Structure 1
Amino acid sequence: MSRISSILIFVIALAITAAEAPAQNQAQSQSPVASAQTQQTARQALQKPTGAEKSSTRIKNIAQFLGVRENQLIGYGLVVGLNRTGDKTQQNLFTKQALQNLLERMGLTVRAQDLRPENLATVLVTANLPPFARPGSKIDVTVSSIGDARSLQGGVLILTTLKGIDGQIYAVAQGPITTGGFLAGNNAANSVQVNHPTVGRIPNGATVEREVPFSLDQQQNLTLVLNEADFTTVSRAAQAINKTFEQPIARALDGRTIVIDLPETQRARLIEFMAMVENVEVASDTRARVVINERTGTIILGKEVKIASVAITQGNLSIRIGTQFFVSQPAPFSRQGETRVVPDQIVTATESEANSVVLPEGATIEQVVRGLNAVGLTARDIMNILQAIKSAGALQAELELN
């Protein structure tokens, strides 16, 4: 009997073990599936456009190839032909020295103290050398007075060399200047000025003499650099490039940089390949940001700037200090005392009723502006309020002060 009981117990144990095994296998088989589903959900969330994104744009609008860039040039020159609006050379010794050096190079010997021209101005000449500029190309230059010239209107820049950061000459500039403004009058007390006549431009005023060495032929890969660092945008851009060329050639190195391996089939067609990359569409993403310029009173708020639930109370306290004058004079027929004007300072303070506005949780910028404008707040008031909201931790955006 005991033997039969032992056999029954053994059979029941086997049955229980067999029943539990499928459940364990099912649970184990579901674990990789759940992990794969989680990764797929994360990828879909990355690819899915959100409200914080801008509309789809080309990569060329948000990034540029590494090495394809402008270079700044600068030079020192003289502007001649001014109508008595140039430097007062008695005060500007460098103008005398520059003119004396110019005349000596032309074979004329003069003393600096004998130079008194008012039709001359010393200037700094600046220009941007574009990428792939070849010798003979024309570029625009900007001419800015560095002395006390009153206007560059009607002046002509004489031959000026433009150098790069390495001290090499890359271009030469010369030509008539356009200022976009004018100065009429003989002196500062009796003159009329329109716009800014001491800065001008010379369209196509410089000729490129030396090119910046840069070759695309030896490139094994290309590097794209985003104008603004953003991990979401750089990841989407790499995915969009891979999808366009149907092979994993692009990878993001950080929040701004994408490295693209050149396919063997595209090495002989590098320019066409770069053009195709530039025209790949990508949904860019931006960080919620509020930019405040206290000097000009300008406030720029992104579309997706939101705030937590907050109540704003703004009380307007106005303090006015003024001076009122009255005449103090002695009594009639009095031989003592004299008539005097006596100032009387008046101080008044008025405080208007406090304005209140309540904004709900997750209020958008449209609701914020509408609510603040409804109580008649000025731009200066809104600046102070936004900074206070940020300090309270209710502003769900980056606050940038300029």
Structure 2
Amino acid sequence: MKFFFLLLVSLLGVFVRAEAARIKDVSEVAGIRSNQLVGYGLVTGLVGTGESTPFTDQSFNVMLQKFGIVLPPGVKPKNKNVAAVIVTANMPAFSKQGQSIDVVVSSIGSAKSLRGGTLVQTFLKGLDGEIYAVAQGNLLVSNFSLNADDGSKVIGNNPTAGMILNGAIVEREIPTPFSRGDFITFHLLDSDFTTAQRMVDAVNDFLGSQIAFAIDATTVKVRAPRDVSERVVFLSTIENLEFNPADSSAKIIINSRTGTIVIGKHVRLKPSAVTHGAMTVAIEEYSLDTDGKEGRMFKFEPGSTLDDLVRTVNEVGAAPSDLMAILQALKQAGAIEGKLIII
């Protein structure tokens, strides 16, 4: 069953790659991206699952001072209903002032759980140190715990991290290069010279020559109108153009943890021989032979693919681990035309 799945994935890769793809599905517009925000804050309202640490106490005192409350000298609050947290968020491109974004809240101290807590107003800063959003709200912590009679405890998911849906309000917009310059730049998600050139040809065939040109295997520049409204219509048209991306390079991907093996379309075998346990795989100039249980022999024509090898190894009842060992040995011997990637 595992080998059938392996072969199915390999064949699907061939059929899917042969179909046309939209430009928006294989590339992204340069400069149009989300931005990471981060902030430090306090979660209050915890039911004894918080913490009392020096930095939590200091943050708590600063918060009280902002409200005009000053503790007497020498008084140190020991409040287990408060926790220090890091707040993170991704601010999408073109986010406008007043819009809301989701935030993730994670404990950085010794708090046992953030369930039932409320995040106090927290400033979220970008890489430049400027404040772009302000977060506040009630946490959603999706965890559970079970206490057994023998004193043991089972905890599901993570009780010290949670989310606040629409928990931050955007206070400052992040400028983008979309409306600047004479060109719109596309970056291919998978760098390939052939794909870049085919994308250029598709745009030029639709709009006329010299409109688009490739800078390298990743970057394609397209001449665009300067008027912003016209540029929106122009980009909408361009990103929906279809063309045939190039097939990816010959690769074999092996996940050593799950036993999953994906074989690319263009992987080929060279003459060689591998002995693995009671099995012998011989790839000769004119045939591919596999000798396994009961002395069975399988032969193929020159230019055998790894699909042929997988099918043959499956016939003799080998396990996925056997195939992994054979593939690694073949690659070490230089008998595989393609990359072997183990993850």
- Identify whether the pair has TM-score above 0.5, normalized to the shorter chain: yes
CA–CA separation in structure 1 for the residues paired with 2:206 and 2:187:
19
Using the TM superposition, give the Cα deviation of residue 289 of structure 1 relative to its aligned residue in structure 2, in angstroms.
2.0
Aligned position for 2:9 = none
Aligned position for 2:224 = 262
CA–CA separation in structure 1 for the residues paired with 2:135 and 2:74:
26
- Deviations, residues 179-221 of structure 1 (Å, cap 9, x unaligned): 22223459x9632211222222211111111111225333211
Aligned position for 1:396 = 337
Aligned position for 1:314 = 276
What's the TM-score once normalised by structure 2's chain length? 0.80
Using the TM superposition, give the Cα deviation of residue 267 of structure 1 relative to its aligned residue in structure 2, in angstroms.
7.2
Please state if 1:278 is matched with 2:242: no
Which of 258, 266, 280 is equivalent to 1:356? 280
Q: Provide the secondary structure at the position in 2 that maps to 1:67.
A: coil
8 Å CA contact 1:124–1:143 kept in 2: the answer is yes
- In 2 relative to 1, CA 155–364 (structure 1 residues): closer, same or farther, beyond 3 Å? farther
- In 2 relative to 1, CA 115–376 (structure 1 residues): closer, same or farther, beyond 3 Å? farther
Q: Provide the secondary structure at the position in 1 that maps to 2:103.
A: strand
CA–CA separation in structure 1 for the residues paired with 2:88 and 2:17:
38
Structure 2 residue ranges without an equivalent (≥5): 1-13, 283-287, 289-299
Aligned length: 311
Letter in 1 for 2:253: V
CA–CA separation in structure 1 for the residues paired with 2:79 and 2:135:
23
Larger Rg: 1
Please state if 1:68 is matched with 2:35: no
List aligned pairs for 1:1-400, cutoff 5 A: 53-87=17-51, 89=52, 92-110=53-71, 114-185=76-147, 190-262=152-224, 269-285=230-246, 286-294=248-256, 297-315=259-277, 354-358=278-282, 359=288, 360=300, 361-400=302-341
Using the TM superposition, give the Cα deviation of residue 156 of structure 1 relative to its aligned residue in structure 2, in angstroms.
1.8
- Deviations, residues 229-275 of structure 1 (Å, cap 9, x unaligned): 100100100000111123330111110111111268x8761101001
- In 2 relative to 1, CA 180–310 (structure 1 residues): closer, same or farther, beyond 3 Å? farther
Using the TM superposition, give the Cα deviation of residue 115 of structure 1 relative to its aligned residue in structure 2, in angstroms.
2.4
- Deviations, residues 364-385 of structure 1 (Å, cap 9, x unaligned): 4433433344445444444333
8 Å CA contact 1:52–1:287 kept in 2: the answer is no
Query: Any runs of at least 4 consecutive aligned residues in structure 1 with deviations exceeding 6 A, and if so which?
Result: none
- In 2 relative to 1, CA 275–185 (structure 1 residues): closer, same or farther, beyond 3 Å? same
Letter in 2 for 1:134: K
Using the TM superposition, give the Cα deviation of residue 114 of structure 1 relative to its aligned residue in structure 2, in angstroms.
3.0
Letter in 2 for 1:275: S
8 Å CA contact 1:229–1:255 kept in 2: the answer is yes
CA–CA separation in structure 1 for the residues paired with 2:171 and 2:112:
32
Using the TM superposition, give the Cα deviation of residue 65 of structure 1 relative to its aligned residue in structure 2, in angstroms.
1.2
What's the TM-score once normalised by structure 1's chain length? 0.69
- Deviations, residues 91-145 of structure 1 (Å, cap 9, x unaligned): x322222222222222223378732222322221111111111111111111122
CA–CA separation in structure 2 for the residues paired with 1:70 and 1:141:
14
Aligned position for 2:293 = none
8 Å CA contact 1:151–1:183 kept in 2: the answer is no
Q: Provide the secondary structure at the position in 2 that maps to 1:96.
A: helix
Q: Provide the secondary structure at the position in 2 that maps to 1:180.
A: coil
Using the TM superposition, give the Cα deviation of residue 392 of structure 1 relative to its aligned residue in structure 2, in angstroms.
1.1
- In 2 relative to 1, CA 372–193 (structure 1 residues): closer, same or farther, beyond 3 Å? farther
Greater displacement, 99-108 / 158-167: 99-108
- In 2 relative to 1, CA 243–102 (structure 1 residues): closer, same or farther, beyond 3 Å? same
- Deviations, residues 315-363 of structure 1 (Å, cap 9, x unaligned): 2xxxxxxxxxxxxxxxxxxxxxxxxxxxxxxxxxxxxxx2334555544
8 Å CA contact 2:32–2:178 kept in 1: the answer is no
Letter in 2 for 1:280: L
Using the TM superposition, give the Cα deviation of residue 389 of structure 1 relative to its aligned residue in structure 2, in angstroms.
1.8
Using the TM superposition, give the Cα deviation of residue 175 of structure 1 relative to its aligned residue in structure 2, in angstroms.
1.2
8 Å CA contact 1:177–1:201 kept in 2: the answer is yes
- In 2 relative to 1, CA 152–301 (structure 1 residues): closer, same or farther, beyond 3 Å? farther
The higher relative CO (CA closer than 8 Å, separation ≥ 6) is in 2
